[in-house]
């Protein structure tokens, strides 16, 4: 060894970053085992720059975290030539053997600074499990390595967020369609000669009944045919029935057409969670879910604002024409840019393609764990699974009941606000629609807070838990958000009861809309984290429960206010909200036990 290598050895020995190094498997190791092995001390953040897994069969593989953009780091750093050499090394310690002189010593320093920056970024990540890869010797078809670009988890961020934005747009429009008719019920009843308040309210709430039916078969169909084709069919089905609603000759036919539109509108709500689970890792899902779930909460608040003026000026039937026009545009863009993301379906297609090309009949998907089921069996299991999860899984049941109640009270407010402010303050239908802007502002503020803190909080709590992620780490936000709901009902109820200045009850709606976002997004993400494989079915179960509540509670609203008055009627809802506050707290404390109770899906 000459003086150059000695100099390099001294330089590298002063700061040796932690790494994970692949070691050959021991003689007793299984060929299918995957075990990370650590060398040297862990990094300050507790997360390594690389992960190496013992893959058996006398071979090993080092996996670079996909979130580290090596090309970007090389372009940004003038010493990236040595970084390339570093990438070929089996460990950072091999820097000691790189020959160097005075000028190259500075390059080593810059290389180590790049490594440090990568480690800093890496500390903000949660370790992920390796994806299954192809092993044709055993007849297993999977992905072509950990960085396979066809794997949805490895899609470029540009593609991921384009799909996410299109999904978010349609998930805004279908709930928007659910409430746009609410301010126009008075005109609708007049045109159809209807004097039954419950039948009039049904034109709004029956749409949510469609939300309860659609998920039951849309989720399993997506497991057979893929999420893209099922989502596309549901979207266009939704569009077609907007025409029927706009041309409905009777109130009974309008109710039927609204139900069918709701069935199609449930597609994006049901499949959205599965698409997110396909494309985003655990510590990215909070923000992604925040974008998609913003639609079901913002859409119903924007709908009445527009619907009030549309019904008052050009007629309530134009509510549906407006929904149709905007939906056709969004659905058309979705057709152009959406891609299949279900990994089971993608690998299933790959198996068929390879079997056809090679003539092999022994090939199977890496996701097959046992006897291959027929499409009929998959559909039947998919139809039954959401029901099983709803009634046999205490965790799904508690989450669904809580979200269902909050969602039901939201739609109760949507359907009763026009009547309350028209009768109490003498407002016109168009002006009454502006009240929903306050709900929208609260939703946006809540969304900003939740999406900015959700994933960061999960990463921080994972570090504090020695790098072990638990789904319950999503729930602290929903605990404090649950305290805001009862405040609204007491405030809103008694200020309208005593005819306080209109601004006071309007402001009272802000904490409700803020709090419902703080409940809805963390709990929805929690279900996906608990059941990533069956995310679509878990969300389907939740959608069925909340849509039933969203349909039934508004029907009880008029009679409740008539018998109890605005003060005590809203106070009743406030007391129920107080009883519900411990639900997220109990889930946070005992959720892990509930998940281990052994539901066979």
Read off the pLDDT band of 334 (50, 70, 90): very high
- At 108 the pLDDT is 41
CA distances from 594 to 38, 392, 478, 597 (A): 33, 11, 18, 5
Q: Please say whether the beta carbons of 132 and 367 come within 8 A.
A: yes
CATH assignment at residue 400 = 1.20.1250.20
3-state secondary structure at position 265: helix
Q: Please say whether the beta carbons of 121 and 110 come within 8 A.
A: no
Any residues with CB less than 8 A from the CB of 421 and at least 6 apart, and which?
A: 427, 432, 435, 502
Whole-angstrom Cα distance, residue 504 to residue 431? 16
Residue 145 within a domain: no
Q: What pairing do the DSSP bridges indicate for beta strands 140-141 and 364-365?
A: parallel
Residue 130 within a domain: no
CA distances from 311 to 241, 253, 306, 308, 327 (A): 19, 19, 9, 5, 19
Work out whether the CA dihedral 204, 206, 210, 213 comes out positive or negative. positive
Q: How many CA atoms lie within 13 A of 429 on its CB side?
A: 21
Q: Supply angle C-alpha 138, 144, 148, rounded to 5.
A: 155
Total domains in the chain come to: 2
Least confident range from 329-333, 343-347, 400-404, 547-551: namely 547-551
Same domain, 98 and 160: no
Same domain, 60 and 156: no
Same domain, 206 and 251: yes
Same domain, 105 and 16: yes
Same domain, 316 and 404: yes
Read off the pLDDT band of 126 (50, 70, 90): low
88 pLDDT above the threshold of 70 = no
Residue 147 within a domain: no
Same domain, 342 and 249: yes
Residue by residue, DSSP assigns 394-435 as HHHHHHHHHHHHHHHHHHHHHHHHHHHHHHHH---HHHHHTT
By the 10 Å C-beta count (0-12 exposed, 13-18 middle, 19+ buried), 424 is classed as: middle
Same domain, 316 and 358: yes
Q: Please say whether the beta carbons of 22 and 37 come within 8 A.
A: yes
Same domain, 116 and 176: no
Give the single-character DSSP code of 100: -
- At 1 the pLDDT is 45
Same domain, 94 and 168: no
Q: What is the pLDDT of residues 478-495, one digit of tens each?
A: 999 999 999 999 999 999
Q: 59, 90, 125: which is the final residue of a domain?
A: 125
Q: How many CA atoms lie within 13 A of 116 on its CB side?
A: 8
Same domain, 366 and 510: yes
Angle between helices 535-580 and 394-425 (to 10 degrees): 60
2 pLDDT above the threshold of 50 = no
Residues in the chain: 601
Residue 396 within a domain: yes
3-state secondary structure at position 252: helix
Same domain, 396 and 516: yes
Q: Which residue has the tokens 């009763």?
A: 416
273 pLDDT above the threshold of 90 = no
- Average pLDDT for the chain: 78
Q: What is the pLDDT of residues 427-481, one digit of tens each?
A: 887 788 788 888 889 988 998 898 888 878 888 888 888 888 888 988 988 999 9
Residue 142 within a domain: no
| Domain interval for residue 321 | 152-595
Same domain, 69 and 158: no
Residue 327 within a domain: yes
253 pLDDT above the threshold of 90 = yes
Residue 283 within a domain: yes
Higher pLDDT, 468 or 336: 336
Higher pLDDT, 575 or 6: 575
Residue 131 within a domain: no
Least confident range from 128-142, 183-197, 328-342, 437-451: namely 128-142
Q: Please say whether the beta carbons of 366 and 350 come within 8 A.
A: no
């Amino acid at each position: 060894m000459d003086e150059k290598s000695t100099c390099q050895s001294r330089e590298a020995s002063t700061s040796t970053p932690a790494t994970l190094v692949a070691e050959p498997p021991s003689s007793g190791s299984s060929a299918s085992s995957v075990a990370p092995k650590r060398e040297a001390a862990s990094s300050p953040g507790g997360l390594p720059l690389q992960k190496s897994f013992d893959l058996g069969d006398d071979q090993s593989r080092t996996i670079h975290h996909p979130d580290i953009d090596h090309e970007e780091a090389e372009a940004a750093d003038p010493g990236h030539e040595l970084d390339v050499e570093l990438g070929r090394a089996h460990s950072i310690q091999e820097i000691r053997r790189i020959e160097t002189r005075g000028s190259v010593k500075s390059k080593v320093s810059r290389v180590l600074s790049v490594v440090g920056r990568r480690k800093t970024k890496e500390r903000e990540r949660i370790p992920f499990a390796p994806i299954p890869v192809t092993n044709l010797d055993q007849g297993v078809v999977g992905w072509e390595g950990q960085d396979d670009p066809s794997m949805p988890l490895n899609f470029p961020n540009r593609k991921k967020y384009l799909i996410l934005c299109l999904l978010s747009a349609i998930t805004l429009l279908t709930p928007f369609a659910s409430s746009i008719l609410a301010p126009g019920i008075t005109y609708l009843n007049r045109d159809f000669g209807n004097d039954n308040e419950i039948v009039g309210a049904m034109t709004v709430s029956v749409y949510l009944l469609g939300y309860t039916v659609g998920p039951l078969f849309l989720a399993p169909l997506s497991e057979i045919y893929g999420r893209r084709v099922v989502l596309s069919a549901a979207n266009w089905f939704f569009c077609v029935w907007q025409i029927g609603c706009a041309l409905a000759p009777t109130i009974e036919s309008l109710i039927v057409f609204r139900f069918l539109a709701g069935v199609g509108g449930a597609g994006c709500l049901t499949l959205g969670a599965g698409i997110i689970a396909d494309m985003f890792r655990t510590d990215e899902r909070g923000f992604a879910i925040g974008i998609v779930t913003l639609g079901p909460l913002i859409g119903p608040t924007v709908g009445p604002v527009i619907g009030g003026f549309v019904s008052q000026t050009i007629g309530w039937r134009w509510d549906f024409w407006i929904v149709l026009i905007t939906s056709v545009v969004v659905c058309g863009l979705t057709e152009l840019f959406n891609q299949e993301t279900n990994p089971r379906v993608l690998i299933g297609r790959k198996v068929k393609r390879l079997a056809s090309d090679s003539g092999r009949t022994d090939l199977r998907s890496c996701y097959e764990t046992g006897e291959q089921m027929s499409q009929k069996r998959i559909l039947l299991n998919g139809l039954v699974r959401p029901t099983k999860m709803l009634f046999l899984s205490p965790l799904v049941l508690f989450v669904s009941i809580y979200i269902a109640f909050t969602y039901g009270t939201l739609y109760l407010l949507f359907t009763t606000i026009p009547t309350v402010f028209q009768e109490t303050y003498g407002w016109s239908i168009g002006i009454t629609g502006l009240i929903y802007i306050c709900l929208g502002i609260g939703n946006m503020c809540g969304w900003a807070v939740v999406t900015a803190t959700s994933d960061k909080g999960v990463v921080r709590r994972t570090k504090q838990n020695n790098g072990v992620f638990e789904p319950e780490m999503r729930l602290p936000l929903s605990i404090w958000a649950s305290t805001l709901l009862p405040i609204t009902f007491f405030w809103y109820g008694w200020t309208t009861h005593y005819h306080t200045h209109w601004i006071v009850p309007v402001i009272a709606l802000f904490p409700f809309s803020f709090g419902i976002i703080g409940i809805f997004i963390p709990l929805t993400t929690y279900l996906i984290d608990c059941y990533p494989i069956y995310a679509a079915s878990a969300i389907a179960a939740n959608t069925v429960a909340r849509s039933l509540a969203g349909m039934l509670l508004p029907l009880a609203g008029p009679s409740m206010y008539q018998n109890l008055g605005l003060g005590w009627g809203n106070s009743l809802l406030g007391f129920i909200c107080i009883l519900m506050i411990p639900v997220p707290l109990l889930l946070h404390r005992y959720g892990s036990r509930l998940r281990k109770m052994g539901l066979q899906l």
